[in-house]
Structure 1
Amino acid sequence: MRLSIACARIAVQLAVALSAASCSNSVWAQTPGATHVGTILAAREPVNPVKEFVGRVEAVERVSVRARITGYLKEVLFKEGDAVKEGAPLYRIEPEPFQAALQQAQGALLKAQGQEANAAGQLDRAETLLKTQSGSVAVRDQRTAEYQTTKGDVLVAQANVQAAAINLSYTEIKSPISGVIGRTSVTKGNVVGPDSGVLTTIVSQDPMYVVTPVSQREFLQLKSEQRRAGGDVAASLTVALRFSDGSAYAFPGKINFVDISIDKATDSVLVRASFPNPHGQLIDGQLVKFSITGDKPEEKILVPQSALIADQQGVYVFVVEDGKAAVKRLKLGGESGANAIVDSGLDAGAQVIVEGMEVLRPGAPVIASPAKMLGRS
């Protein structure tokens, strides 16, 4: 009896094992060489679309310092790379020749003023003699002409004094703005003048501009968002920066200018934003990533950026269709956190492969599981 029961148990176990093997063979017969993948369902979510462009930092004020007179450079009065205040002396050109020219002009003015005084006295005497009939009209007219000539000489002499004083003031070149000064292109001992070119450059630091060309299509989208917001584009959009290493700039910006015409060569319009720069992180000429975010959420399909694959044709993801991996080419509309915003190419409800796609090929059989379940197994 005991032997009979044991045999029965063995028979049952064999039957169960054969049944399991049969089922397993049936699954693998349907998906030979299938790859286990983790998927998520693509769904529409409210997001604030972010449009990203490459922008260039520009100083609000930028001055190329030049010499306005020709002379011997006596001193360089600044340290390259330092901050300078408006009115700070930068260069000193030898002043002695210009002081001498000023004194010469002042002497000529005194001489002209003396001649004017003498001519005025001669004219008064001629007028007096004419009244007493002891003089003639011709003499009076001659004295009038002489007086007018000396008055003209005085005006010319005064102008010469003013010009000489201006030239003397140009011997000390001062900073016209506050900012950071660059390197000097000349050193003391050289003769400089208007033909010497730029001596140094000064750029303001706070605030700074960032300018970027925006395509006409994207610009029209921005204008559409402006109309929906019921205000101007500057008030309805948030502007942010990221540096080339991916780090975010701490201070948001504000759009303060949109160019009045489209660049025919690139079919784009120039947009400019102003950013505070209290710590000097933004440098004139620097390339940055310029992102514009609307304030009205839109329903968009999001996919994890880790699921994106790029090739020469663009960006795509793998999805599960009929138990196989299929390629979906995407048109992206920016980023939202760790996700990419899909403008077109993917429908809601699609099974997007986010794990295991490294070894996939289009048409390869797959066994799909929710990504979080796959991660726990």
Structure 2
Amino acid sequence: MSEVVQKSKLAKQAAQSMGTLTTEQKNAALLLLADALVTEQQAIMEANSKDLQRGKESGISSSLLDRLALNESRIAAMAEGLRQIVELPDPIGDTLDSFDRPNGLRIQKIRVPLGVIGIIYEARPNVTVDAAGLCLKTGNAVVLRGGSSALFSNEKIIEVLHRALSRSSIPVDALQLILSPDRSSVDEMLKLNGLIDVLIPRGGHSLIQNVVNNASVPVIETGAGVCHTFIDESAQLEMAIRIAVNAKAQRPSVCNSMETVLVHEAFAARHLSALAGAFETARVELRGDDRARVLVHSMKVAEPADWSTEYGDYILNVKVVADLDEALAHIRQYSTMHSECIVTEHTANAERFLQEVDAAAVYHNASTRFTDGFEFGFGAEIGISTQKLHARGPMGLPALTSTKYRIYGSGQIRE
């Protein structure tokens, strides 16, 4: 029996009792997990240093190393995410609807766990903790398969969490980590109908598309983030620079960072050089279209493929547009329906942008970097869904539930 099948069977068995746990039992367990992360942070960072060393030796990019790295503040943030989940309402058992039928049947629609959730992700070890907290709070068992670049970090984190779970009401087997780095372990998870109830991929475009295209297990698709910011003619210069630089440079390796800035031609004529200077200070390489490069000669040429590229790095496309219509057309063509922003003082333009842009999150005068479960008040998040079925946007606790109907009768039969 393979590691994937063995651990999925253990998770499936544990899931049978997870739905019966009380909110108090689950919260107590999550607090134990949070405390254990802080208490054992040194051991976690030592394991993480092995992953970082391997990453440097294999030549992975600085942005991926940033995604991989753990320190005291990031571990503290992971623990805080768990504590925030404790403070959130438990959706399991919520009555979503209740009604009586003319024949006397009383029908209730309630939230229930999904069962066993499989999560396939890449280099960020904080996902291990986020996924564990959200899944366990919602009464789900979880099978995790992280990227090989974070293998030592993930293994140590799960070891720490398992020790904490052994002192709780949650069965240890409800949290599983696949250690095999072989791609065959991912391929096996995609076909485990009956053991895994739903799959959630988190990572780059190729990983997500592999899961979406090849899984027979149902998938909640999280999307790549080719995000845009449109700076309208009426935008305030200081605000536009602050928002745009934050959206690109605050943490460029994550999916809600901006990859293209669209600049109204009137704003560009007055201020593009100042905007470019701010990006240069933030060490961002600019790739512009012809109109942008006329105004700022130092920009590199934006190639056709660049407009659809999720860089995850200090690289940004710049396009000068004639008006809101051209900006909307560009976003329709290249957006991955993740997060899009307009910076404007024109109320009608803002409302039109918010109405017409088809994305999980649309912003007026705020950075796309806020598309995040923590920032939305959901605690940790399981991912950003860019699909339209079941869940969309940052997925917190309710997104990890299904529903069940309870029907109460008094002897009714159907004629």
- TM-based fold match above 0.5: no
TM-score norm. by structure 2 comes to 0.18
**Which structure: larger Rg?**
1
Q: Which has the higher helix share?
A: 2
